[in-house]
Amino acid sequence: MKVADLVYENIKPLFRDDIRLVEVEYVKHNDGMHLVIYIDKDGGVNIDDCVKVNDLINQTIDDLNPTGDASYVLDVSSYGLDRPLKYDWQFKKYQNQKVNVKLYRKIDGKKEFVATLLGKDEKGFIFNIDDENFTINTADVAYITPYIEF
């Protein structure tokens, strides 16, 4: 099992408060390997949340020894506004908000667009553009990210 998957499976049960575990990555940076724990919560993540999660997971990760004694840096971080939405709770969080949508293939001449996410059902994602609702099959959506307006 990959390091990131092993860590995710072992720390996931520790999350019971309003802070959610989104993703775990084990990646190489200039200064060595990093085990990155991405978290999210309603209203956004602050430094105190990162410290709380670090304290929560630290002993479990030490006991797990997922890298077999290889050194790494443990990072606890906000998932970030520019990262793809993956989970149903994220889609609900961004319901009725603008999102960026990228498709695997063009539909009606577009492969990328900004729309209001109305929801997700068994058929796919429901969007609204210019007061017109439409559904796109989940398999046709490469990713959805929050729309950031400057």
Question: What are the chain's domains?
Answer: 3-78 (3.30.300.70), 88-146 (2.30.30.180)
What is the structure's pLDDT at 120?
92
C-alpha–C-alpha distance, residues 55 and 149, integer Å: 34
CA angle 77, 82, 86 (to 5 degrees): 80
Distances (CA, A) of 145 to 12, 46, 81, 88, 100: 23, 20, 7, 13, 5
C-alpha–C-alpha distance, residues 72 and 25, integer Å: 12
C-alpha–C-alpha distance, residues 91 and 85, integer Å: 7
| pLDDT tens, residue by residue, 76-133 | 999 888 889 988 888 998 999 999 999 999 998 999 999 999 999 888 999 999 999 9
| pLDDT tens, residue by residue, 12-63 | 999 987 999 999 999 999 999 999 999 999 888 999 999 999 999 999 999 9
The answer to pTM > 0.85 is no
